[in-house]
Chain A
Amino acid sequence: MMIDRRLVENFDWGLAVITSIIGVIGLVILYSAVNAGGPTGQQMFYYKQMVWFGGGFFLMLMILMINYKDLEQWAPGIFGFCVFLLISVLLVGRVVGGSRRWLVLGPVAIQPSEFVKIGTIIILSRFYSRNTSRRGFTLRELMRPAGIILIPLILILRQPDLGTAMLVVLISASMTLFVGVDRRSLVYLFFIGILVCCSGWFFLHDYQQERILTFLNPDRDPLGAGYHIIQSKIAIGSGMAIGKGYLKGTQNALSFLPEHHTDFIMCVLSEEWGFFGTVLVLSLYLMLLIWGLNIAHKARDTFGTLLAVGVTSMFFWGIFINMGMVMGLLPVVGVPLPLISYGGSSVITTLIGMGLLMSVSIRRFIKE
């Protein structure tokens, strides 16, 4: 592929800078999280994360060079590959903590359910850009996209990975609401959703019901999820206005939180950097999201707009659910904080998303 000079001229420096700043902040916090309480053998997470970031940035650059228009052609292939990975997980995946989520490829283990988010965004962008409907989609018209999403959804629920499944649903719902749903169908959809949830409930085993109830209300499990939320709130709250200082978080140091380098990393940030640091990071995320929506606004075509909206909604839900969880506003779900939480699959997926946004952004003036 030849690198067009215009691609370099139109490179989205703003997005690259915001991403880099959040990424650097993420590494700085991760350093504190893994070094808490003396040598714990977690230091390798820090170096691994740097490797993931390096690989992710490279991938991001590769993807922005691809004309996103081509992705529309490749969408079924990409989506099919994601489904194939999910099936492989169920067949040969590694079981960790009772759920089968990991695919081991030589030295690295990946979580294919993360990549499914990208696959879903691309296939839905293709569908909705080809089938537009100004009066809003009706229930009948929505059958096909719903059917497409159901395949990976069921496979993810089989692992089971409730958090990621929920994200896939939320991203799809965001995109669908964005392209518009017929008002009457929206009401139907609402009732169908309630009906499915209620009838599904009775098909679940006792222990599965228990798991979902705990998921919705962590207080039901005061020794597990409920305890984590209390400790998480203590960590965040105790940061007060300016924090306890970098590497000085006591909650962090005593390892009260088992997932403090992944899902609960926000606690480390809030405890050590206080309200000041939290607002800084929140603002950066807000800038990122507005930037993404701006790219959607400037996109050349509908597919580009939808792609940008999809990726931005993926970031939004990741940020919102993770933050809501650590602050005790939302259920405890295994959703990582984009660009800050430790995790290869999460970092790579986020940076692939960035690559897609940039690909759309760079080509906004190109008419050829």
Chain B
Amino acid sequence: MAEQIVNTYLNTPDNDWYKARLSGLVFAVLAAFFMLFIRMFHLQIIEGEEFRRLSESNCIRIQNIDPPRGLIFDSKGELIVDNRPSFDVCITPKDAKPIEETFSRLAALTLAPVAEMEERFRKQKGMPSYNPVVVLPDVDRDTLGAIEVRKFDLPGVSVQVKPLRHYIQKSSAAHLLGYLGEISQKEMDSGKFPGALGGDYIGKNGIEKRFELQLRGARGGRQVEVDARGRLVRVLRTVEEKPGNNMYLTIDQKLQMATETLFEGKVGAAVAMDPSTGNILALVSSPSFDQNDFVAGLSHATWNSLINNPERPMENKAIQGTYPPASTYKILTAMAGLEEGVIDEHTTFVCNGSYRFGNRSYKCWRSEGHGTVDIYRAISHSCDVFFYQVGQRLGVDKLSFYARASGLGSKTGIDLDNEASGIIPTADWKKRRTGDVWQRGETLSIAIGQGFNLVTPLQMACFISAVGNGGKRFKPQLVHKIVDQNGDIVKMNSPELVGTLPVKQGNLDIVRIGLWQVVNLGGTASAIRMKSFEIAGKTGTAQVISRARGDEETAAGPAHWKPHAWFVAYAPAENPKIAVAVIIEHGEHGSSAAGPVARDIIKNYLGVKKP
């Protein structure tokens, strides 16, 4: 044992050889240190004087040049978001001494309160004193002139020009475009915003957020030498800023604004889509808010009023709002019934105004009843009793299968954040969610779009669009193309087929005839019939409170008890150019509240297009 240990410590023959090589290493180290020594001597002794001078005036600074953010256009090339110059008055703490005097002179010139300036100034404490601090953001031209003229009395005061986001049509498409806000520390640390500095504005919502990296561009800057009063002596180096890419949306701004006008004073949402591509033509959520308020920095009061408003202006109801689909769901029940063979074109049921199931009576919306109805009449007159029986024969899980395969109850994948998925219930789902067993009677409610069902207006728009175009389900697109500053295309979107409706052409045609009759053959939406083109669609009236309370849906009550009004439609019926889904919260009747809005959207779009 001892011998073994001794052996491990014994010099191997190679060890001495290695040691001879150590002198080479010593030489290398000495050579390297000699180099460092010479360099230090050069910097500190030979050039020391010059560097001391440079350090005393601390005169080499960096000035940032913010890149203009990419512009946003509509599908016709109409500019909807641009940038305007903002003139910010800054103070460089190091150069602006005595600071109190500078403040009072500035206040005299601009009539701005000193306290406000000092407040902003204090916030930047701890930053290097050669960094300009913005004390008066976005001043008007008169103030600017006054400051420029008196510049020599205002040491350390400078004016920075910064591009500021400008939403041309106030409040228009606010939910879709989003807005900008100051970058937070968390966002800075995330590494998702390379090159971002504190105080930068980034997209916080909508297109502005989703396409932040496309729109933001790259910051430029100048290395400059300034004199003791902080004035520019010369520019040493310049890095050009790189403007952000421009975006062309699929939105038709004219239609968007016309739709917004239709929603004035109403709460709800509308989505208009091109059925042949999935391009979103308009996406409206009402009420809206002014994005320009966010750019200027939102006051506490404005923010609170937005957040506490019961009409939820900050919510994008078109993609985040979930509502019972109500009678618009009958389109789906009809498709499933035909496809599963539980009914056909000739099947008839008799409607006496109610349907007895178990020990409960399920009412039709028309208490007098519809008499003998087939599938066409059931759709066009929205007969509940007919669809109760279809639903009963299908069962909840079959219905759910067709709904999911048609894109309901799941996110559409639109390029916006916080999209809701909605709910399409199954027996299993209820068991998991509530612990209770599925009651067969509940299937009847599901079949007419009540009960647990929840969908977003966007899902309904995609669905009715697929019905209209013969079964092709497209992903809803908001962006047509992204173009860089040289006009070269960075990204071009083409229609993206995500699936087809789970129904044979013949059965789909039956449903489409029914939808045509809704408007054109004495159906529930006859009032919106047009001469110049034919609309096909479906009304819906979504109960907010249970009908079991005994109130008829027409019964008077507080406004927030009134049902939501739906209308989904496409036109022209034969070869649709536009599909829309409209919901008006507490609008009462689909036919009277939502129908006319949908018709006017269609009229506006097709009317413009007609030669």
Q: Which residues of A contact B (CB under 8 A)?
A: 37, 39-41, 69, 95-99, 129, 132, 134, 178-180, 221-223, 226-227, 230-231, 233-241, 250-251, 254-256, 270-271, 274-275, 278-279, 282, 285-286, 289-290, 293, 296-297, 299-302, 305-306, 309, 312, 316, 320, 323-324, 327, 329, 366-368
Contacts and interface: CB of A to CB of B under 8 A. Distances in A.
A236 B15 CA distance: 43
30 contacts: A41-B126, A96-B191, A180-B21, A222-B221, A223-B64, A223-B223, A226-B223, A227-B60, A227-B62, A231-B60, A236-B40, A237-B44, A237-B51, A240-B45, A240-B49, A251-B58, A271-B55, A274-B44, A278-B40, A278-B44, A282-B33, A282-B36, A282-B40, A286-B30, A290-B29, A296-B19, A327-B36, A327-B39, A368-B5, A368-B6
Q: Which among B15, B39, B58, B128 has the greatest number of chain A C-beta atoms within 10 A?
A: B15
Given A297-B22, A302-B15, A368 B2 contact: yes
Contact of A69 (B8, B17, B55): B8
A97 B196 CA distance: 11
Interface in B246-277: none
A316 B29 CA distance: 8
Contacts of A323: 36
Contacts of B309: none
B37 interface: yes
Given A234-B55, A238-B56, 17 more contacts: A37-B129, A40-B126, A69-B9, A98-B191, A180-B21, A231-B60, A237-B55, A254-B94, A254-B128, A254-B129, A275-B44, A293-B22, A296-B22, A305-B18, A305-B19, A329-B39, A368-B2
A279 B37 contact: yes
Nearest to B17: A134
Most buried by A among B14, B194, B239: B14
A95 B191 contact: yes
B555 interface: no
B55 to A, nearest CB: 4
Nearest to B190: A95
B10 A226 contact: no
A227 B221 CA distance: 11
B37 A234 contact: no
Contacts of A274: 44
B43 interface: yes
A289 B35 CA distance: 16
A368 B239 CA distance: 68
B237 interface: yes
B357 interface: no
B interface, over-half SS: helix
A305 B36 CA distance: 27
Most buried by B among A222, A279, A309: A222
Contacts of B189: 95-96
B153 interface: no
Contact of B128 (A99, A255, A300): A255
Given A237-B43, A240-B52, A309-B25, A254 B58 contact: yes
B142 interface: no
Nearest to A239: B44
Contacts of B29: 286, 289-290, 293, 316
A223 B221 contact: yes
A297 B19 contact: yes
Contacts of B220: 223
Given A301-B8, A367-B9, A368-B9, A327 B43 contact: yes
A134 B12 CA distance: 12
A291 to B, nearest CB: 11
A309 B22 CA distance: 9
B308 interface: no
B21 to A, nearest CB: 6
A95 B36 CA distance: 34
A135 B481 CA distance: 65
Interface of B: 2, 5-6, 8-12, 14-15, 17-19, 21-22, 25-26, 29-30, 32-33, 35-37, 39-41, 43-45, 47-52, 54-56, 58, 60, 62, 64, 94, 126, 128-130, 189-191, 194, 220-221, 223, 236-237, 239
A239 B48 contact: yes
Closest 8 CB pairs of A and B: A237-B51, A238-B55, A222-B237, A240-B48, A223-B221, A275-B44, A98-B191, A132-B14
B25 A270 contact: no
A275 B42 CA distance: 10
* A69, A99, A227: most-surrounded residue (chain B CB, <10 A): A227
Given A237-B50, A250-B56, A98 B194 contact: yes
A227 B223 contact: yes
Contacts of B36: 282, 320, 323-324, 327
B12 to A, nearest CB: 5
Nearest to A98: B191
A224 to B, nearest CB: 9
A173 B513 CA distance: 80
B5 A236 contact: no
B60 A290 contact: no
A301 B48 contact: no
Nearest to B46: A237
Contact of B40 (A234, A250, A279, A286): A279
A284 to B, nearest CB: 11
Contacts of B52: 237-238, 240
B62 A223 contact: yes
B54 to A, nearest CB: 5
Contacts of A238: 48, 51-52, 54-56
A256 B128 CA distance: 8
A176 B307 CA distance: 67
Nearest to A313: B25
A255 B191 CA distance: 23
Contacts of A237: 43-44, 47-48, 50-52, 55
A265 to B, nearest CB: 15
